[in-house]
Amino acid sequence: MNTTEIILISVILSCAILLAVGLGILLGIDTRYRKIVQEKSTKVIAVKELNKQFNFYRIEPKGHLIYKCKSKREFDKCNFYGKLCEIILEREVYFNGLIEEIEKNRDAAKEYLNQYNAIQSTVTYEDAKIWKVPYSRFIMKEEAICEKIKMKADTDHVLEFLVIYTSPKGVNTYRVQKSFCFDEWKNYYEEALQARKNKTEYQRQVQRERALMTDDLRYNVLRRDKFRCQICGATAKDGAELEIDHIIPVSKGGKTVMGNLQTLCKRCNRGKSNKYDPD
Ligand SMILES: [Zn+2]
């Protein structure tokens, strides 16, 4: 090792030591500043107080739903969104709870943010001077601390839905997969709920209309139509079995009233049922 090398190494070593000492001092100052800000900042104290008033639900960021098809045929025919709605409806209680928690979190988070943003710094140049922290450093530290302790609510829950079919020996696997954010799957869920409600309502309506079909009404329709099929004219004497038909089907809002009823033979009625929704 020659002299030049020794000098060079000494210089590098000295620089490194100086740098380390310098960094240490800076870090020490930084820690001291932070401690002062933590103690003195009314903004930090106010944010801590605010945090005590809020309590957000803990929401898992992601959920998984899987539907395993029993055959390739079922997989091919599977209605992806229909299946998703079906599975969600099966777990209605769970998803109702989840939706409620996310929506409460969203409302609370909005309120929290409003109050958080309203909290102002109250430190003055004079304060900073007394506490021996440069004013701009105080403000910076204060902002950083507040940002760090600011509460963050879980406001989304991504639902991953997978429809899968694996052939018996596991040779082939077919899959369709899609992710839905909270607002998307909530939409599907609400639509499915509404569809189920409509279906129940429709069934009730059909039952109501059926109950209105009394023997009296039936006889009055037959007599008005002269006991003849209103399409082919057949009568009981021709061996026809006469039935009372809703001209506008109950499924389309047709009522059980004379004006919407007609006599049809069984054959013609079957023919009509094929053209319209059966009622
Ligand atoms: Zn007929």
What pLDDT, on the 0 to 100 scale, is given for residue 273? 67
pLDDT in tens, 134-167: 999 999 999 999 999 999 999 999 999 999 999 9
CA of 215 to the centre of ligand 1 (A): 21
CA of 217 to the centre of ligand 1 (A): 20
pLDDT in tens, 32-87: 999 999 999 999 999 999 999 999 999 999 999 999 999 999 999 999 998 998 99
Instruction: Say if domain 213-275 classifies as CATH 1.10.30.50.
Output: yes
Q: CB atoms < 10 A from the CB of 250, how many?
A: 22
* The 173-180 sheet, strands edge to edge: 62-68, 158-166, 173-180
Q: In whole angstroms, what is the distance from residue 50 CA to residue 225 CA?
A: 79
CA of 259 to the centre of ligand 1 (A): 19
End-to-end CA distance of the chain: 105
CA of 97 to the centre of ligand 1 (A): 55
CA of 40 to the centre of ligand 1 (A): 95
CA of 230 to the centre of ligand 1 (A): 7
Domain boundaries, the chain: 41-197, 213-275
Assigned token pair, 106: 């969203």
CA of 142 to the centre of ligand 1 (A): 89
CA of 211 to the centre of ligand 1 (A): 25
Residue in 45, 8, 16, 259 with CA at minimum distance from that of residue 142: 45
CA of 82 to the centre of ligand 1 (A): 40
pTM attached to this predicted model: 0.69
CA of 89 to the centre of ligand 1 (A): 44
For residue 133, what are the contacts with CB-CB under 8 A and spacing of at least 6? 33, 36, 37, 141
What pLDDT, on the 0 to 100 scale, is given for residue 279? 41
What pLDDT, on the 0 to 100 scale, is given for residue 69? 94
pLDDT in tens, 212-231: 999 999 999 999 999 999 99
CA of 241 to the centre of ligand 1 (A): 9
